[in-house]
Chain A
Amino acid sequence: EYDLIIIGGGSGGLACSKEAAALGKKVMVLDYVVPTPLGTSWGLGGTCVNVGCIPKKLMHQAALLGQALQDSRKYGWQYEEQVKHNWEVMVEAIQNYIGSLNWGYRVSLREKSVTYLNSYGEFVEPHKIKVCTVFEILKTFVLATGERPRYMGIPGDKEYCITSDDLFSLPYCPGKTLVVGASYVALECAGFLAGLGLDVTVMVRSILLRGFDQEMAEKVGAYMETHGVKFIRKFVPVQARRLKVTAKSTEGTEVIEGEYNTVLIAIGRDACTRNIGLETIGVKINEKNGKVPVNDEEQTSVPYVYAIGDILEGKLELTPVAIQAGRLLARRLYGGSSRKCDYINVPTTVFTPLEYGSCGFPEEKAVEEYGKQNLEVFHTLFWPLEWTVPGRDNNTCYAKIICNKQDNNRVIGLHVLGPNAGEITQGFAAAIKCGLTKELLDETIGIHPTCAEVFTTMDITKSSGQDITQKGC
């Protein structure tokens, strides 16, 4: 009696299910969270709502507020008490909000008549899935199982270390923390933990923010370092014990040891595509990371099985991408639409202490694709007005645009490092979708005083070699 079963109740799965139900189909969503080694589990909504974007941004905000409190004295606010942070109060407030979101999703599924089961699903035969002890035989399936943090595979990692799955509901303050990894998860978490006043060290095997523009990535790291986050570069942990971590250099024989209250592993995420019977029905996956290759209509190697979200091979791991893909898929399956998900020029933001927003090509990829001589990169340093009075870092915030000289100086990459980077980048993403050129940007009048207006007055090119250092006015 069901038309569609979606395995995974996260951003992609829920969006797809509601759209399909709105088009009149009978839909079932299966969502099941395997508890972490620590026993942490959570409700309906997937990674973003429970252990990703939402709690991350809220904790980032908590850290920013700490900074704001420091700045406030320079703006004339006077208070006697020393300011300190209570981890448990923050976690309770954030978890309460997440609880209301979990409930909200259940209500919205019910309102759209989507059946939700807190259950695992496993393919047993072509077109046949086992849910608990019941077998459902269906025409169409959508895989939206998402990912979970990868462990290091060293002695003690599961017993003594935590991951982002545990961090956002940790019932005690993590204290002195070692963050292993240089992904955006690692840097964002290290960032807000340091912002809350904790002693944080980041252990990096090689580069920061792999896949992102490396000039921007290094600036993100540099800001964190000048703001109290310690970095140990070119080392990997080899053993974790209670409160102690041993690490080895990637370039020699040096071995170091450190004492930490908490070790947070953030070295990457693996797709949850094992143990659901994909081999049984012939859905091909990338054996290394479990990701699912699909065509441009999100169809897997088995025609009646589709996949969306973080598990897709070679696609962006972002909630809005999963939601868009899920919705458009439902419309193509049941609404007669032929519109495909556009994965080009998707904007993103890394919510490190100094936020980094981008849309389009990282500079290295642009050079690879178009050749350095065909590109013009405009750039500038800037000092947010709000930072002047408290005397915060000058010549740290940075913005650049990469233009294709052979196409009317079309903006093919936009990068900004500064406060509210996400809010700034969102609007420009729409402009880039409309074919933004440098000339159009120059014709656009800025809003003053803002940070975003720097994009409307960018004159200095990298190729000119001119100094972009801001002098005092």
Chain B
Amino acid sequence: MAQRLALRRLLSLTPGAVPPQGPLAPLSRTLGTSAGCRSTFNVQDGSDFQDRVVNNPKPVVVDFHAQWCGPCKILGPRLEKMVAKQEGKVMMAKVDIDDHTDLAIEYEVSAVPTVLAMKNGDVVDKFVGIKDEDQLEAFLKKLIGA
């Protein structure tokens, strides 16, 4: 998709900047809620992924998404909500595949949304596309329990 050069430069200069989400994604609102705000984060770069996902003692679900992807905008908040319900037992990392293409390629993401379940640096489960809340809850419980 087309980008305005100035906007992208501005975002890359601001550390920890959240890439602009479409008007449909209530990401910022969800981050504001009590349990949610600490268990979901945006991956900044490759080494951040190593630190906070691969080397995380807790299990992490990784949500590979894209700005241009409609279903991602539905799945994202839904997954965050279910992650928040697990009360800190699982973390959620969000990866924008256009910003972090190397990471997406490394984990063989072809379609979005792709969600990986990671434990101790290994991919133990995965799904592609939208799931409803019950299916997400089951997915998360399996990751925590196993």
Q: Which of B5, B22, B69, B112 has its CB near the most chain A CB atoms (within 10 A)?
A: B5
Given contacts A99-B66, A99-B68, contact A43 B4 (CB under 8 A): no
- Kindly supply a per-residue 1/0 record for chain B positions 1-38, scoring 1 wherever the CB is within 8 Å of any chain A CB and 0 otherwise: 11111100000000000000010000000000000000
Nearest residue (CB) in A for B22 is: A92
Q: Is A96 a contact partner of B110 (Cβ separation < 8 A)?
A: no
Chain A: interface residue total (CB-CB under 8 A): 25
Beta-carbon nearest neighbor of B73 in chain A: A96
Pair A40/B2 contact, Cβ less than 8 Å:
yes
- CB of B110 within 8 A of CB of A99, answer no
A106 to B22: give the CA distance in the assembly, Å.
23
**CB-CB < 8 A to B146: which residues of A?**
none
* Chain A: minimal CB distance from B74 (Å): 14
Contacts of B22 in A (CB 8 A): 92, 96
Contact with B along A86-118 (1 / 0, CB 8 A): 000000100111111011001100110000000
Q: Does A42 contact B (CB under 8 A)?
A: yes
A168 within 8 A of B: yes
> Is the CB of B121 closer than 8 A to any CB of chain A?
no
CB of B67 within 8 Å of the partner chain: yes
Once the chains bind, are B2 and A50 in contact (CB under 8 Å)? yes
Q: Are A95 and B6 in contact (CB under 8 A)?
A: no
A47 interface contact, C-beta 8 A: no
Within the complex, what minimum Cβ distance (angstroms) separates A348 from chain B? 25
Asked if residues A98 and B5 are in contact (CB atoms below 8 Å), the reply is no
Binds A, one of B55-63, B97-105, B125-133: B97-105
Residues of A within 8 A of B101 (CB): 106
- From A95, A110, A111, B68 is in contact (CB under 8 Å) with A95
Distance in angstroms between the alpha carbons of A410 and B66 in the assembled complex? 52
- A-contact 0/1 string along B74-115, CB 8 Å cutoff: 000000000000000000000001100100010000101000
A111 to B110, CA, bound (A): 9
Residues of B within 8 A of A107 (CB): 110
Tell me, in angstroms, the Cα distance from A318 to B112 when the chains sit together: 31
Given contacts A106-B101, A107-B110, A110-B105, contact A99 B1 (CB under 8 A): yes
Check if A98 sits within 8 Å of B1, measured CB to CB. Answer: yes
In residues 165-183 of chain A, which contact B (Cβ within 8 Å)? 168-169, 171
> With A and B bound together, what is the CA distance between A177 and B6 in angstroms?
25
Beta-carbon nearest neighbor of B1 in chain A: A99
Q: What is the total of A-B residue contacts with beta carbons within 8 Å? A: 59
Residue of B nearest to A36 (CB): B5
A103 B66 Cβ-Cβ under 8 A: yes
Which one of A106, A110, A169 contacts B1 once the chains associate, using CB atoms below 8 Å? Answer: A169
Task: Judge whether B98 and A99 touch: CB under 8 Å.
Answer: yes
B1–A102 touching, CB < 8 Å: yes
A43→B68 CA distance, assembly (Å): 12
* Per-position binary interface string of chain A over residues 21-40, scored 1 when its CB falls under 8 Å from any chain B CB and 0 otherwise: 00000000000000100111
Partner of A42 from B1, B66, B105, B112 at Cβ < 8 Å: B1
Closest to A51 in B: B2
Query: In the assembly, what is the distance between CA of A312 and CA of B21, in Å?
Result: 40
Please tell me if the beta carbons of B1 and A40 are within 8 angstroms of each other in the complex.
Answer: no
Chain A residues in 8 Å Cβ range of B68: 95-100, 103
Report chain B residues within 8 Å CB of A168. 2
In the complex the two chains form, what is the Cα distance from A92 to B98 in whole Å?
A: 16
Structural contact, B2 and A98, CB atoms closer than 8 A: yes
User: What is the bound-complex CA distance between A107 and B3, given in angstroms?
Assistant: 20
Task: Answer whether A39 and B5 are a contact pair too, CB < 8 Å, given A92-B22, A103-B97, A103-B98.
Answer: yes
Answer yes or no: A41 CB below 8 A from chain B CBs.
Answer: yes
Partner of A96, one of B1, B3, B6: B1
Contacts of B2 in A (CB 8 A): 40-42, 50-51, 95, 98, 168-169
Residues of B within 8 A of A102 (CB): 1, 98
Known A92-B22, A100-B69, A103-B98; contact A43-B1, beta-carbon cutoff 8 A = yes
Question: Given the complex of chains A and B, what is the CA–CA distance between A169 and B7 in angstroms?
Answer: 14
Q: In the complex the two chains form, is B67's CB within 8 Å of A99's CB?
A: yes
A171 x B4 contact (CB < 8 A): yes
A100 to B67, CA, bound (A): 9
**Interface residues in A35-76 (C-beta closer than 8 Å to B):** 35, 38-43, 50-51
Binding site for B on A (CB under 8 A): 35, 38-43, 50-51, 92, 95-100, 102-103, 106-107, 110-111, 168-169, 171
What 8 additional pairs, Cβ within 8 angstroms, besides A95-B1, A98-B68, A99-B69? A42-B1, A51-B2, A99-B66, A99-B68, A100-B68, A110-B105, A111-B110, A169-B1
Question: Which 4 interchain pairs have the tightest Cβ spacing?
Answer: A99-B68, A169-B2, A99-B1, A96-B68
10 residue pairs from A and B, CB less than 8 Å apart: A41-B2, A42-B1, A43-B1, A51-B2, A96-B68, A96-B70, A98-B2, A100-B69, A103-B68, A106-B105
